[in-house]
Amino acid sequence: MANLTTVTRISQEKHPRNISKHLNYGTAGFRSRATELDHILYRMGVLAALRSKSKDGDTIGVMITASHNPEEDNGVKLIDPLGEMLESSWEKHATCLANAGDEEFQVVLSEIVETFKIDMNCKSSVAIGMDTRASSPGLNTAVVDGVKSVDGLCFDYGTITTPQLHYMVRCINTRNAYGMATIEGYCNKLSKALKNIWQNQGERKVYKPHIIVDCANGVGAKRLKDIAERFDKILSIEIRNAGEGKLNYRCGADYVKVNQRGPEGIDCIEGQKYASFDGDADRIVFYYTDKDNIFHLLDGDKVATLIASYLIGLIRKCGLELNLGIVQTAYANGNSTAYIQDELKVPVACVCTGVKHLHRKALEFEIGVYFEANGHGTILFSDSALSKIESSCSSSSNESEKLSANELRTFVDLVNQTVGDSISDMLIVETILRDKDWDVADWDKSYRNLANRLLVVKVNDRSVFETTNAERTVIKPTGLQKAIDDHVKLFPNGRSFVRPSGTEDVVRIYAESDTQENADQLALAVAKSTYDLAGGTGNLPTL
């Protein structure tokens, strides 16, 4: 058995801390310029192995990615045994370890071992994945060094999407009960589920089994190709931005959502269905252009409502009673929330931005559908839901109920329940559109979005911001909420809020209203008040 103090020290010298900047384990782990991250990745390798030891040797995941951020950035996040985000009580230890001076590193490490009573003789294993950034392989080496410095075992998955790594971790720790812990196993599980459901759906008239997917020049392209090949005859998936251009540059889910237009270089053909992934393939948005050349975006809200409406219908057909709820954030379009409440008549919860908050809330329902408007989301099926579905499959005396229960059981396999997954979400949407025999425009008609605008304000210190009510009300700086309320009153269906970003050094403004012009004016007015009351720097945002 390695001695913690000496072994880590030897490897640690290969990964010295070369910055003095303080980094936080934020909403999605650590994110920064790739050149500032080597020591952090090494340290997260060590921490992941310690976390594994603290979980009796269960495998912990380490994903190297900066998601939708520029190619020059990178980042890292840890994945807990069932494929969920790192338990929040460990985040502060991650931050502490990452920011310790080289000479304090051992002390902080010993404190963690002490705090969690970690048995250093326990085995540990870490599954590592990375996106396609040029800096990722070097950072991967740093993680491996960290894991090995405390005698941990590494499963290196190479280039893999973030949700695929979450899936692998869950498969490993459930001894493959969740699926086989390989890319092949992932593709088999999803493709088999899709084909099963489609087989029983019969012919379709309106639904078009063809989608063009912008993969943001990221890892999603390669991994989507693996599975797309299996749908050759039944679903045609055309991959664009497969890596020929710069990662996330004027393409990808974030670009499309924020700018409300298609990726550069892809001419949206009228009526054709498109989707965009982000750089690590955990977000997806859909879009199309109508005959008047108007661009229509179908974001996370539209995906969540589509899924919920399908599931409610299917649950009813099964003759089951299941408590289904939707979880959103303040960024959800006001009309999507109204549609969920008034049309779908489903409970809807609003939580703070960041997947971990949505995921946690969704666990409170028997079936929890959660989506951020930016396209990140999935569906969680509780044990109680699964056992009700299972018993309906085996013991229902009504043949049609049994058939529906079988469909629902198969549908569960189409879902990556660990985290939002562009590939799985895309197949879910295709399956539901086919079920309803809908074209993308039919889907879009379910409700009309209120016009909205996102703006960014740079301030001296974003830590002066304090929000409450799931980020919909700002408490500090004092007076800002009153100013927002005054602006909002002037616009029909007006709504606006301000929150500090958890990933960048900016404050974000959201506004919605009846027309684009009104949404823009409201956003600009709120941005100006924010700038004035919170010590704005640089230029005021423009449209």
Measured between alpha carbons, how far is residue 136 from residues 130, 257, 357, 454 in Å?
A: 6, 26, 27, 31
Measure the CA–CA gap between 278 and 266, rounded to whole angstroms. 16
CB of 282 to ligand 16G, least distance (A): 6
Contact status, residue 23 vs residue 99, Cβ threshold 8 Å: yes
**Site size with Zn ion, rule: CB under 5 A:** 4
H-state helical runs in 25-104: 38-54, 88-99
* Residue stretches of the annotated binding site for Mg(2+): 67, 278, 280, 282
CB of 355 to Zn ion, least distance (A): 9
Cis amide linkage into residue 492, ω under 30° from 0: no
> Per CB under 6 A, does 507 bind ligand 16G?
no
One symbol per residue from 55 to 94: x for binding Zn ion (CB under 5 A), - otherwise; what is it? ------------x---------------------------
325 or 500: CB nearest ligand 16G: 500
> Per CB under 5 A, does 282 bind Zn ion?
yes
Could you please report the per-residue DSSP string of 504-528? SSSEEEEEEESSHHHHHHHHHHHHH
One symbol per residue from 14 to 53: x for binding ligand 16G (CB under 6 A), - otherwise; what is it? -------------xx-------------------------
> Per CB under 6 A, does 504 bind ligand 16G?
yes
131 or 366: CB nearest Zn ion: 131
Measure the CA–CA gap between 457 and 472, rounded to whole angstroms. 17
CB of 283 to ligand 16G, least distance (A): 8
276 or 396: CB nearest Zn ion: 276
> Per CB under 5 A, does 132 bind Zn ion?
no
Q: Among the options 52, 67, 124, 136, which is catalytic? A: 67
Contact status, residue 330 vs residue 448, Cβ threshold 8 Å: no
List the beta bridge partners of residue 63: 77, 129
| Interacting residue with ligand 16G among 80, 84, 131, 372 (CB under 6 A) | 372
Note if 136 is an active site residue. Answer: no
Question: Phi/psi class of residue 535: alpha, beta or left (left: φ > 0; alpha: ψ in -120 to 50)?
Answer: left
> Per CB under 6 A, does 502 bind ligand 16G?
yes
46 or 352: CB nearest ligand 16G: 352
Measure the CA–CA gap between 288 and 266, rounded to whole angstroms. 12
CB of 175 to Zn ion, least distance (A): 28
CB of 8 to ligand 16G, least distance (A): 29
One symbol per residue from 15 to 34: x for binding Zn ion (CB under 5 A), - otherwise; what is it? --------------------
| Interacting residue with ligand 16G among 191, 305, 328, 374 (CB under 6 A) | 374
| Interacting residue with Zn ion among 254, 278, 372, 435 (CB under 5 A) | 278
List the beta bridge partners of residue 298: 286
* Residue 278 interacting partner from Zn ion, ligand 16G, none (CB closer than 5 to 8 Å by kind): Zn ion
Number of Cβ within a 10 Å radius of residue 201: 13
H-state helical runs in 74-135: 88-99, 105-115
Contact status, residue 125 vs residue 150, Cβ threshold 8 Å: no
Measure the CA–CA gap between 515 and 518, rounded to whole angstroms. 5
CB of 256 to ligand 16G, least distance (A): 15
Enumerate long-range contacts of 408-415, CB under 8 Å, 24 or more apart. Answer: 408/311, 408/314, 408/315, 408/318, 410/193, 410/196, 410/197, 411/193, 411/197, 411/314, 412/193, 412/381, 412/386, 413/189, 413/190, 413/192, 413/193, 414/190, 414/193, 414/194, 414/197, 415/378, 415/379, 415/381
One symbol per residue from 376 to 395: x for binding ligand 16G (CB under 6 A), - otherwise; what is it? x-------------------
Q: Which residue has the tokens 């497969």?
A: 242
Measure the CA–CA gap between 153 and 501, rounded to whole angstroms. 36
Contact status, residue 125 vs residue 155, Cβ threshold 8 Å: yes
28 or 284: CB nearest ligand 16G: 28
67 or 305: CB nearest ligand 16G: 67
> Per CB under 6 A, does 501 bind ligand 16G?
yes
Binding site for ligand 16G (CB under 6 A): 27-28, 67, 353-355, 372, 374, 376, 501-504, 508
Report, as residue numbers or ranges, the catalytic residues: 67
- Write out the residues near Zn ion by the rule CB under 5 A: 67, 278, 280, 282
